Amino acid sequence: MVEIRVLVVDDEPDIRATVAEMLEIEGYSVDEAANGADALRAIERHAPDVILLDMRMPVLDGWGFAAELNARHLEIPIVVMTAARDAARWAAEIAASASLSKPFGLDDLIRTVGEVRGAA
Amino acid sequence: MTALELLSWINRILFVVLFIAVGWRAIRQPTRSNVNTAILFGGIGLAVLGALISDVAAFDPPWLPGVLIALLNACPWAMLRLVDDFRGSPRWVQLGGTVTFVAIAALSLLLFERFPQLVELVTIAWFLVVGGYAAVAFARASGRSRGLTRWRMAAVAVGAYLFIATIVVVFAAEFLPAIVAIVGPLAQVLALAAVVAFFIGFAPPAWLRRAWREPNLRSFLEHSVHLSGVVDDRELVLELQRAAADTLGATGASLGLADAEGVTMRYIGVDGTFGSYPAYAFIGGRAFSTQKRLIVTDAAASDPENAAAYISWNARAVIAVPVTAEDRRLGVLIAYGDRAPIFVEDDLWLVQLLADQTAVILEARRMAREASELRAREETTLLKEEFLSAAAHDLRTPLTVLLGQAELLERRLQRDPSSAIDPAGIVRIAREARRLRDLVSDLLEAQRLEDVGPSVDREPADIRELVRASMDRYGYDGAQFKPALPDEPILVRMDPVRLEQILDNLLENAIKYASSAAPTEVRAWEENGEARIAVIDHGMGIPSTERALVFERFVRASNAQARSDTGLGLGLYICRRIIEGHGGRIWADETPGGGSTFNVSLPTEVLPQPVDDSPAGDIPLSPAAGASPDG
């Protein structure tokens, strides 16, 4: 079985760790990044299959990160995860594949990541 | 026909025409002043007419000049009565005038044939005395009046001076035969000018009244556009009263404002403040209750119950017009004058126009007020929505962790009931649950502060100890904060729990937004009877335009918002409310070299904080307005 790599980008350490654990228990392999810049470095090391992306972050936010990704012609499916009301709108803005509104449960997370992974 | 003859004819015809015009008016509206004006013009007109008939018909009996002089003597008598009508004069002047008139008329009828010069001299003296008296009286009346009435009184005064000049010229001709040649035309021109001036003043034609009023009316209408913006009721009413009185040339005007139910009416009294009266009271109340326009020529007689008030207001003639918009009864506009003749028939129409304009202003104001109330309600609703949305947003982050960790535990237990509990997960659950609790209490605290203000519960507290405790809570390692505290305690009268809340908020912010490169300085000192605290960070700072705003509810600096998803924008707001509730101040500055400095000052002494807002000992003065004659 091919290992699926997910990159979790969020400035809240507890969220990062929780989401990572939720993915790992379902067999995903997870990398973590605290902001957009961190995430770009992580991608250079190891390209993920799916990116879970918080939007408002210090240093480099979700929009900036998505633009960088575009500039590098890296086509990795993105799932926007945010506590803001505008999850779907923000997802559309950066042409993400899906969005998750915080708080989300284990099943929502796994299903969404699975769908995005399946479509890619 | 010579030019002199032509002038003489024009003169005679004009005298007669004016007499007819004034006479017709007196027949239609037989008021005292109209009748007296008719007598004034009639004396001259009949004398001119008599002389004319005698000339044309060669009818020249020896008794005719005596009769003509007797007729002319009615002019000064009528003028004295007009002074009384428009300005008032002592009773003995009126009585003396009547006696003199009768005596001179009798003298000229009986003795003119035998002693013509004596009669002429007495007549001239009588004309000069009355002319001078009237000229001075009307000139003073003009100075004291406003608008239209001012012009009318001035015209009459000019007429009286011209009248004197005419007499002087005629008198001079008797004793200086050399000037007889020019006396005829000069006297005629002067007399005609005097009569025209009297006509303009005593019985101004409608077009002239309109022309005189035009500037005041125009200024009222132009001014009224801005009046709906006047917030203060008192100021608005005073402005409208002044404008109405000016436009009408009235002694004064009064605007009564009815309450919504139309039960009471507010007037501004002589003391300059509003007094409430039953809506039906006074002549104005009568107009308001019946919704009819009223003209009253003797207010005290018409409303004897309030006679004293009218006398104290100098209100003899009163015009009252209801101020009504559609079916909304807003109040009543009252114009009053010390003398009845200053009002003429079409003044009622003008007061109606002013009342309508007043209604428009009051309605515009009411609508503007309602609109702003609606806006305020909408803003409150919007603020509540924002509050809910901000609250929901911030609660979601800890909830994500709680839900995720709980489901992980559940999943693990499902798969293996004997699996060991993940200690890191438990730590996260506890931490995020605490965070959730803090957020909820922040929200509730902010709401409570908004509803009831901060609770003021004071105990002496040492700021140094509280700063140290707060640094222990937030300083994970010693390098994060650099304290600068004095050796002596700094005591403030304040609930230590509240002060802790403030310090925690400031230090938490410093950690959240400051750079880790340079430690945040925390200083406390005493200065001019104030305890001072400064939290000086070297972080990203607050844009200068937002420095005052960050203390408002739900406001976060734009750069803070970009940096982190979390934060309700309540921390500094709560700080400010608590500090201000304790008589202190909080403000933000820029740290030299970059970063933010948060300053707090608190009184070190117990300040008598005004807990009870009702002013002690401030008993309002009795609202009695101009109802007593001794006021």
pLDDT score of B620: 33
CB contact under 8 A, A103 and B396: yes
Vertex A91 angle, CA A88 and A96, to 5°? 135
Rounded Cα distance, B481 and B516, in Å: 10
Nearest CA among B452, B479, B500, B455 for reference residue B600? B500
pLDDT score of B113: 78
Query: Among all chains, which residue has been given the structure tokens 């240093």?
Result: A59
Tell me which residue in A18, A85, A106 faces B411 most closely, judged by beta carbons: A106
In order of A8, A59, A92, B422, B572, the CA distances from A40 in angstroms are 12, 12, 21, 31, 35
For residue B580 the two structure tokens come to 């201000």
- The string of DSSP codes covering B14-65 is HHHHHHHHHHHHHHHS--HHHHHHHHHHHHHHHHHHHHHHHHHTT---TTHH
Superfamily of domain A5-119: Response regulator (3.40.50.2300)
- 3-state DSSP of B198-232: HHHHHCCCHHHHHHHHHHHHHHHHHHHHHHCCCCC
Q: DSSP state, B615?
A: P
H helix or E strand, kind and range, residue B532: strand B530-536
In order of B68, B157, B408, B477, the CA distances from B55 in angstroms are 13, 33, 132, 128
Kindly give, in sequence order, each residue whose CB lies less than 8 Å from that of residue B341, ignoring residues fewer than 6 positions away.
Answer: B31, B32, B33, B85, B86
Chain A, chain B: beta-carbon pairs less than 8 Å apart: 83
pLDDT tens across A63-97, in order? Answer: 999 999 989 888 899 999 988 777 888 888 888 88
Angular region, B528: left φ>0, alpha ψ -120 to 50, beta rest: left
CB contact under 8 A, A18 and B405: yes
Which chain A residues have any C-beta within 8 angstroms of a chain B C-beta?
11-12, 14-15, 17-19, 21-22, 25, 54-58, 61, 82-85, 101-106, 109
Whether A1 shows a pLDDT value over 60: the answer reads: no
pLDDT score of B114: 81
CB contact under 8 A, B403 and A11: no
B387 contacts on A by Cβ (under 8 Å): none
Rounded Cα distance, A45 and A57, in Å: 21
For residue A78 the two structure tokens come to 């993105």
| Domains of chain B, CATH where assigned | 3-204 (1.20.1070), 218-371 (3.30.450.40), 374-451 (1.10.287.130), 457-603 (3.30.565.10)
Rounded Cα distance, B168 and B164, in Å: 6
Measure B460 CA to nearest chain A CA, in Å.
39
pLDDT score of A113: 92
Strand partners, B328: B325
Angular region, B520: left φ>0, alpha ψ -120 to 50, beta rest: beta
**In contact, B534 and B598? CB cutoff 8 Å:** yes
CB contact under 8 A, A101 and B396: yes
The pTM score is 0.52
Query: Beta strand B317-325 with B328-337: parallel, antiparallel or unpaired?
Result: antiparallel
For the beta carbon of residue B486, count every other beta carbon within 10 angstroms.
12
B70 in contact with A at a CB cutoff of 8 Å? Answer: no
Tell me which residue in B396, B404, B561 faces A18 most closely, judged by beta carbons: B404
- 3-state DSSP of chain A: CCCCEEEEECCCHHHHHHHHHHHHCCCCEEEEECCHHHHHHHHHHCCCCEEEECCCCCCCCHHHHHHHHHHCCCCCCEEEEECCCCHHHHHHHCCCCEEEECCCCHHHHHHHHHHHHHHC
B581 in contact with A at a CB cutoff of 8 Å? Answer: no
Strands (E), B297-377: 317-325, 328-337
A105 contacts on B by Cβ (under 8 Å): 403-404, 407
Q: Is B487 helix (H, G, I), strand (E, B) or coil?
A: coil
For the beta carbon of residue B496, count every other beta carbon within 10 angstroms.
17
Q: Is B89 helix (H, G, I), strand (E, B) or coil?
A: coil
Q: Is B336 helix (H, G, I), strand (E, B) or coil?
A: strand
- The string of DSSP codes covering B106-125 is HHHHHHTTT-HHHHHHHHHH
CA dihedral B179, B182, B185, B189 (to 10 degrees): -80
Nearest CA in chain B to A58: B563
Half-sphere exposure of B130 (CA within 13 A, CB side): 28
Nearest CA among B198, B205, B242 for reference residue B75? B198
B407 contacts on A by Cβ (under 8 Å): 22, 105-106
Q: DSSP state, B191?
A: H
Q: What is the mean pLDDT of each run of 10 residues along chain B (631 residues)?
A: 76 82 87 87 79 76 80 87 85 91 88 81 87 90 80 89 83 71 76 86 82 80 73 81 82 87 83 83 88 86 86 84 87 84 72 85 84 83 73 82 92 86 87 84 75 60 85 67 86 78 84 74 87 88 83 76 65 84 86 88 61 38 35 33
pLDDT score of B608: 43
Query: Beta strand B294-296 with B317-325: parallel, antiparallel or unpaired?
Result: antiparallel
Query: Among all chains, which residue has been given the structure tokens 């909304």?
Result: B328
Tell me which residue in A58, A85, A103 faces B564 most closely, judged by beta carbons: A58
CB contact under 8 A, B399 and A103: yes
Give the residue extent of every domain in chain A.
5-119
**In contact, B318 and B339? CB cutoff 8 Å:** no
CB contact under 8 A, A83 and B408: no
Indicate the residue type of B168: V
pLDDT score of B511: 77
pLDDT score of A40: 92
CB contact under 8 A, B404 and A82: no
Kindly give, in sequence order, each residue whose CB lies less than 8 Å from that of residue B316, ignoring residues fewer than 6 positions away.
Answer: B297, B298, B299, B300, B310, B336, B337, B338, B339, B340
φ/ψ (deg, to 5) at A105: -90, 175
